[in-house]
């Protein structure tokens, strides 16, 4: 077990192991997404107030969850990279940023499409929409800093600091914005006691959430493989790899 983690830390073995995992993760993601979409779009009953338009929730809510989840992964991976000088953690942190930004963007777009029939406007300065927008800015800042620094190892460590500062600030920003203004419907899944959502809606939602997580895992491994190849382009094993194929 320990040996496995040790191997995972070396770029060469990571490249091999990740290559083996990606097809399985992708297949599981596709299967779950099909099940979740079918359950969500066809099986789940229409909402008594919102009719069928609530079904965008099955995309909107998981992407909003992912947007926060990936930022935390990025900060944790960045911290591991800073503390133990693990190259691979830096690679994971950096590869996560664009994916997280895309999920944040997706959550914003689906949110505003959902908002149009519900609130009567594409954009309202609602607390959770606004903090999602600020989260997007935080992601863009991380990506801008990474691309601005020439030396990629320095860049990765600088962005790790920024991500950690961001993680400390996210709750502060979230609650300050929440306090500032709120229109959004309250959270319906995490309420204590019985969730105020029909089980037939909850199950596809959770299936979609797992599918989105698997999607992230697949894409982050693909991106990390490319990043590893770029960083190690002068290493012996990369040259051999290129020669063969």
Partner 1 sequence: MNTPSLSRAFALLLWRDLLLAYRRRTEMINPLLFFVLVTTLFPLGIGADPALLRQVAPGIIWVAALLAAMLSLDSVFRSDFEDGSLEQFLISAQPLSILVLAKVVAHWLITGLPLLIVAPLLGLLLDLPAASISTLLVTLALGTPVLSMIGAIGVALTVGLHRGGVILSLLVLPLYIPVLIFAANAVESAGAGLPIVAHLSLLTALLVLSTSLSPLATAAALKISLS
The mark string for 122-141 relative to partner 1 (x by CB under 8 A, - otherwise) is: ------------x--xx-xx
Helix, strand, coil percent content, the chain, rounded in steps of 5: 80, 0, 20
Residues 91, 97, 177, 214: which binds partner 1 (CB under 8 A)?
A: 177
Specify whether the CB–CB gap between 231 and 87 falls below 8 A.
Answer: yes
Q: Does 180 bind partner 1 (CB under 8 A)?
A: yes
Looking at beta carbons only, is 27 or 148 nearer to partner 1? 148
User: How far is the C-alpha of 150 from the C-alpha of 164, rounded, in Å?
Assistant: 21
Binding footprint of partner 1, residue count (CB under 8 A): 26
Give the DSSP letter string of 83-129.
HH--HHHHHHHHHHHHHHHHHHHHHHHHHHHHHHHHHSSS----HHH
What residue has token string 């979740």? Answer: 36
Q: Which helix (H) or strand (E) holds 60?
A: helix 57-84
CB-count exposure of residue 30 (10 Å: 0-12, 13-18, 19+): middle
What residue has token string 């990043």? Answer: 227
The mark string for 23-62 relative to partner 1 (x by CB under 8 A, - otherwise) is: ----------------------------------------
Stretch that binds partner 1, among 10-18, 103-111, 149-157, 196-204 (CB under 8 A): 149-157
Q: Does 84 bind partner 1 (CB under 8 A)?
A: no
Residues 118, 145, 202, 210: which binds partner 1 (CB under 8 A)?
A: 145
Q: Does 211 bind partner 1 (CB under 8 A)?
A: no
Q: Does 80 bind partner 1 (CB under 8 A)?
A: no
Looking at beta carbons only, is 147 or 230 nearer to partner 1? 147
Residues within the interface to partner 1 (CB under 8 A): 82, 134, 137-138, 140-141, 144-145, 148-149, 154, 157-158, 161-162, 164-166, 168-169, 172-173, 176-177, 179-180
């Amino acid at each position: 077990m320990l040996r496995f983690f040790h191997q995972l830390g070396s770029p060469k073995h990571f490249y091999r192991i990740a290559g083996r995992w990606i097809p399985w993760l992708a297949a599981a993601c596709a299967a779950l997404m099909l099940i979740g979409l079918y359950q969500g779009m066809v099986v789940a009953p229409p909402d008594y107030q919102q009719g069928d338009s609530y079904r965008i929730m099955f995309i909107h809510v998981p992407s909003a969850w992912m947007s926060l989840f990936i930022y935390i992964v990025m900060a944790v991976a960045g911290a591991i990279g800073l503390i133990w000088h693990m190259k691979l953690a830096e690679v994971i942190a950096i590869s996560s940023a664009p994916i997280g930004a895309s999920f944040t963007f997706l959550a914003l777009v689906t949110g505003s499409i959902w908002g149009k029939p519900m609130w009567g406007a594409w954009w309202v300065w609602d607390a959770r929409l606004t903090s999602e927008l600020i989260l997007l800015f935080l992601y863009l800042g991380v990506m801008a800093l990474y691309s601005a620094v020439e030396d990629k190892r320095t860049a990765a460590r600088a962005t790790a600091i920024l991500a950690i500062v961001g993680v400390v600030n996210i709750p502060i920003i979230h609650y300050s914005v929440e306090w500032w203004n709120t229109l959004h419907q309250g959270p319906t899944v995490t309420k204590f006691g019985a969730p105020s959502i029909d089980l037939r809606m909850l199950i596809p939602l959770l299936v979609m959430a797992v599918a989105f997580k698997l999607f992230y895992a697949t894409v982050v491994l693909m991106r990390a493989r490319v990043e590893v190849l770029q960083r190690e382009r002068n290493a012996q094993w990369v040259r051999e790899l290129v020669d063969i194929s």
